[in-house]
């Protein structure tokens, strides 16, 4: 019986990390740089460069696995399409950081649930794929 209880706990932990779970109650805004080829062409992990809320300074320099709240998670192509000469592939993201660090290149990065993404110069982030 003890073995099945342990298996149940493991399954619940895995399921909860695949759901939208938030560390922050209100959205935070970060600047994050796309780390192209950090783990292969398929990867879209980003590195946090700055945060607007100093109570989240502990995430500075950490990696995140970005995903839109609507479930869109293949954003690597959009990051390339929106690259700017001045800012490269650093973007401003607003959203929620996951309380689970089970994603990304090395399965140690939390998801960042994006509610809004913009270029650093304020221009709209184009998701049409027609750049």
pLDDT of amino acid 90: 94
pLDDT over 70, % of the chain:
67
| CA nearest to 35, candidates 98, 110, 90 | 90
Contact criterion met (CB below 8 Å) for 51 and 32: no
| CA nearest to 32, candidates 67, 2, 7 | 67
Show the tokens assigned to 45: 């992990």
DSSP 42: T
Q: Would the pLDDT of 3 be above 70? A: no
What pTM, to 2 d.p., does this model score? 0.76
Instruction: Report, as an integer, the average pLDDT of 8-27.
Output: 55
* Residue predicted with more confidence, 99 or 50: 50
């Amino acid at each position: 019986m003890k073995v099945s209880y342990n298996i149940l706990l493991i399954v619940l932990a895995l399921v909860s990390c695949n759901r939208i779970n938030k560390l922050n109650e209100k959205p935070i805004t970060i600047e994050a740089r796309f780390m192209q080829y950090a783990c292969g062409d398929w990867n879209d992990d980003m590195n946090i460069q700055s945060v607007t809320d100093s109570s989240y300074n502990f995430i500075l320099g950490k990696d995140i696995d970005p995903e839109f709240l609507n479930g869109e998670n293949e954003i690597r192509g959009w990051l390339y399409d929106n690259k700017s000469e001045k800012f490269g592939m650093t973007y401003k993201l607003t959203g929620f950081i996951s309380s689970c660090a089970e994603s990304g290149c090395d399965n140690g990065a939390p998801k960042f649930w994006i509610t809004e993404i913009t270029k650093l110069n304020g221009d709209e982030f184009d998701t049409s794929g027609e750049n």
